[in-house]
Amino acid sequence: MKILLQHRVEGEQLERLENILGDEHTYIMANSRDEIAEKGNDADIFFGFCSEDIFPLLANIKWIQASSAGMDKHMYPAMRESDAVLTNAAGLYGTHVADQAFALLLGLARGIHHFTRNQDNHKWGGSKSPMIEIDGFKIGIVGLGGIGMQMVKRAKGFDMYVIGVDAYRTDKPDNVDELLPMDKLVDVMSRVDVVMIACPLTEETRGLINAENLSAMQPTAYLINVARGPIVKEDDLIEILQEGKIAGAGLDVTETEPLANDSPLWDMDNVIITPHAAGGSQHRMRRITEFFLDNLERYLKGEALRNVVDKQLGF
């Protein structure tokens, strides 16, 4: 069996890979599309980001271990119609993406973005918005997967009352105060101090956050999106922010990336933007590679793989 590695595997992890493969199986590393075209035609397993232009180069592929958690960029027709098993990195991004969500919330609540701008101008000045404590907030978390549950963990550190909204989950975790279905989203958004989005982007969640439910939010509430940009109708959000109907938004993702230079979001005092950076961590590639190696052992032993994606649901 031949394994094609788009991501470099080194050191102890490379030793582990070689021990798993033994003399029976082989691996190759190919970083560029040209290298994949040259070496990938007979590969059985692929580890990396299998974009729509790479997939046709993998004529013999049986299993793809994606290095990302979100699967929206993998849900092209050829992938969905293929027999290839697709597994993702769900659960491996939870800690640092949840960190980013709370960094955005704290930045907005404490006016950190205003102070940073003052610092750039060597100005000793105050915040343009009230200084808010987040301790004891009510938080609505949309999507209780790996990232959502890490948000729950952090929320409880701030003594928050946690309401989870999930389209599929029915078992309420002990540290979640309420678990409600997606049709209760408007009600939840009207009750909480902050809404954090942690659900995958699917046809069902595209445009999920819109004028209707944004208008239901309290004028002191915040919206945080570290999931996927198209989950939020950006024009609706801009209008809500311009009219001061919510206190602010922290956005790691936008509807179109990179965000257009002329977007009003750039200049808003009640918005913090980070450039799809929540996935960054010093531990990310180590975790993902370890997960791949664990799954590879399972695959070669004929055991069930972890994180198999339902290609019809899109996650």
What CATH number corresponds to the domain at position 266?
3.40.50.720
pLDDT at 26 over 90: yes
Cα–Cα dist 19/9, whole Å: 13
CB 290 within 8 A of CB 17: no
Q: Please check the confidence at residue 310 and state whether its pLDDT lies above 90.
A: yes
If asked whether residues 105 and 199 sit together in one domain, one would say yes
**Residue partners of 222: CB distance under 8 A and separation at least 6:** 105, 108, 109, 193, 194, 195, 246, 247, 248, 249, 250
- 262, 293: one domain: no
Residues 22 and 143 in one domain: no
Q: Which tens digit of pLDDT belongs to each residue from 251-306?
A: 999 999 999 999 999 999 999 999 999 999 999 999 999 999 999 999 999 999 99
pLDDT digits (tens, 9 = 90+) for 159-174: 999 999 999 999 999 9
Percent of the chain with pLDDT over 90: 98
Domain range for residue 167? 94-273
Mean pLDDT, range 176-182, rounded to an integer: 98
Confidence class for position 36, pLDDT limits 50, 70, 90: very high
- Rounded CA separation 309/71 (Å): 8
Read off the pTM: 0.93
Q: Are residues 106 and 201 in the same domain?
A: yes
Number of domains in the chain: 2
Question: In this structure, is residue 313 part of a structural domain?
Answer: no
Token pair for 180:
């409600």
- Distances, alpha carbon 21 to alpha carbons 68, 185, 301, in Å: 24, 48, 11
CA distance 82 to 236: 37
Is 90 exceeded by the pLDDT of residue 86?
yes
107 plus 237 within the same structural domain: yes
In a domain, residue 185? The reply is yes
- Same domain? For 58 and 76 the reply is yes
Residue type, position 174, single letter: D
Q: Give the integer Cα–Cα distance in Å for 204 and 146.
A: 19
At 311, the pLDDT band (50, 70, 90 cuts) reads: very high
- Above 90 in pLDDT, residue 126? no
Same-domain pairing of 244 and 289? no
Q: How confident is the model at residue 176 (pLDDT cuts 50, 70, 90)?
A: very high
Claim to verify: residue 120 and residue 265 sit in the same structural domain:
yes
Same-domain pairing of 65 and 152: no
Report percent pLDDT > 70 for the chain: 100
Inside any domain, residue 12: yes
What φ, ψ does residue 185 adopt, rounded to 5°?
-60, -45
Q: Are residues 86 and 99 in the same domain?
A: no
What sign has the CA pseudo-torsion 252, 258, 264, 267? Answer: positive
244 domain-assigned:
yes
Q: Is residue 308 part of a domain?
A: no
Give a yes or no: residue 315 inside a domain.
Answer: no
Asked if residue 143 and residue 104 are part of one domain, the reply reads yes
The reported pLDDT for the residue numbered 290 is 98
Check whether 127 has a pLDDT greater than 90: no
Average pLDDT, the chain: 97
The catalytic residue positions are 228, 257, 276
Within a domain: 13: yes
User: Which tokens hold the place of 160?
Assistant: 């928050």
Residue 202 falls within a domain, yes or no? yes
Question: Which residues, 6+ apart, have CB-to-CB distance to 12 below 8 Å?
Answer: none
Are residues 169 and 144 part of one domain?
Answer: yes
Q: What is the pLDDT of residue 31?
A: 83
Tell me, what's the pLDDT at 3?
A: 98
Domain final position from 237, 253, 273: 273
